[in-house]
Amino acid sequence: AKKLLVDVDCGVDDAQALMMALASPDVEILGITCVHGNTTLENVCKNTLRVLKTCGRLEIPVFRGASKPILGVSKDAGFFHGADGLGDVPDSNAPGLEMVQKEGAVAGMIRIATEHPGEVSLVATAPLTNLALAVRIDPTFPQKLKALYIMGGNTESRGNTTMCAEFNFAADPEAAYIVLNDYPCPVYIASWEFTCRNKLPWNFCHDWLAQDTEKARFMARIFQHSMKQANSERCQKEMVGDDGFASCDSYAMAAAIDDSFVIEYDTVAVSVELTGKYTHGMMILDFLGLLEKKHKAFILKTVDMERFKTLMMNALK
């Protein structure tokens, strides 16, 4: 089985990505680490437990990570994901926070990678604060990973949070910089523009949510709030549009768990702008080789969308 660690800020598309992995027979999730992002850290932990409960998988350990970025204050994306991060449909039977591990996220991810050197793929669908802290605490941590899959950053300086920065990078630019510069393992990136180019059409989403399962009913409930943002003027509104829905975090997950999903990558050194007035948090792609960086990332370019639809469909079966 493919061994995974997943780092989330459990909003609606994180939930979808998690459910995709949980439904995949050949995937073993060794731990889920939580971080600030779409909502508060406490809500992220609660939401993650709710997803696990819906899938009958509460045995998977959930860890509490960073509640704030390295610098500055947390952003949140409540306008898109709901104030609680999962569409504001409370569940009185939700598992309590006592289910969260006593061990912290950074210690947990370092321990798990050390127990399985070279075997664990880390999928990060959130601000990269936990990952940045992990490499500062144990500089050998990234070398122990098989690969890192990130949803975040942008390829055409198109932002969804600031003018030039995608949410996960904008929410902790310094952490994104540390990760893109200090993770020598293979790094795969599903950028904002890539996800917007590969939306799921609404007729697919309709059939997807209409499946007669508890998982589909859960998803239909938590997804309502985001679907209503289609014509709003708010940031991230392009995740839902007339042309369909981009389940951003699910593309990074699909790349991690299914070798036939990605058809083509751009192979290029990447970094993050930290000083620009308008561009703080923007991912930069060094196609000219001016950074003279040996380590190149793999930027998802073309993918098999039929394969993606099958993975998404199976997630709610």
Residue ranges in contact with ligand BDR by CB under 6 A? 11, 13-14, 38, 77, 125, 151, 160, 166-168, 192, 236, 248-249
Question: How far from the centroid of its chain's Cα atoms is residue 203's Cα?
Answer: 24
State the nearest-atom distance from the C-beta of 153 to Ca ion, in Å.
Answer: 13
Give DSSP secondary structure letters for the chain: -EEEEEEE--SHHHHHHHHHHHT-TTEEEEEEEE-SSSS-HHHHHHHHHHHHHHTT-TTS-EEE--SS-SSS-----HHHH-TTSSTT---TTPPPGGGS-SS-HHHHHHHHHHHSTTTEEEEE-S-SHHHHHHHHH-TTHHHHEEEEEEE---SSS--SSSSS--HHHHT-HHHHHHHHHH--S-EEEE-HHHHHHTPBPHHHHHHHHTSSSHHHHHHHHHHHHHHGGGG--STTGGGEETTEE--HHHHHHHHHH-TTTEEEEEEE-EEE--S-TTTTT-EEE-TT-TT--S--EEEEEEE-HHHHHHHHHHHT-
Query: CB 290 → Ca ion: shortest distance, Å?
Result: 31
Crossing angle for the helix pair 129-137 and 173-182, nearest 10 degrees? 50
Tell the smallest beta-carbon distance from residue 81 to ligand BDR (Å). Answer: 6
Cβ 178 to ligand BDR, closest distance in Å?
Answer: 18
Q: Which parts of 212-251 interact with Ca ion (CB under 5 A)?
A: 249
Nearer to ligand BDR, 75 or 144 (CB): 75
CB of 305 to ligand BDR, least distance (A): 18
Nearer CB in complex with ligand BDR: 145/150: 150
Closest to Ca ion by CB, 126 vs 268, is 126
Least distance between ligand BDR and beta carbon 92 (Å):
25
Q: Work out whether 166 is an interface residue with Ca ion (CB under 5 A).
A: no
Cβ closest to Ca ion, residue 9 vs residue 138 = 9
Which of Ca ion, ligand BDR, none sits in contact with 77, Cβ below 5 to 8 A by type? Answer: ligand BDR
Return the number of the residue (158 or 295) whose C-beta is nearest ligand BDR.
158
From the list Ca ion, ligand BDR, none, pick the one residue 162 interacts with, judged by a Cβ distance below 5 to 8 Å according to partner type: none
Binding site partner of 85, from Ca ion, ligand BDR, none, Cβ cut-off 5-8 A by kind: none
Beta carbon nearer to Ca ion, 125 or 154: 125
Closest to 79 in 3D by CA, of 161, 14, 7: 161
Out of 7, 14, 76, 84, the only residue in the binding site for Ca ion (CB under 5 A) is 14
Closest distance of CB 255 from Ca ion, Å: 15
Q: How many CB atoms lie within 10 A of CB 58?
A: 14
Considering the rule CB under 5 A, would residue 125 count as an interface residue with Ca ion? yes
Residue 138 binding Ca ion, by CB under 5 A? no
Nearer to Ca ion, 126 or 257 (CB): 126
Q: Interface with Ca ion by CB under 5 A: which residues?
A: 9, 14, 125-126, 249
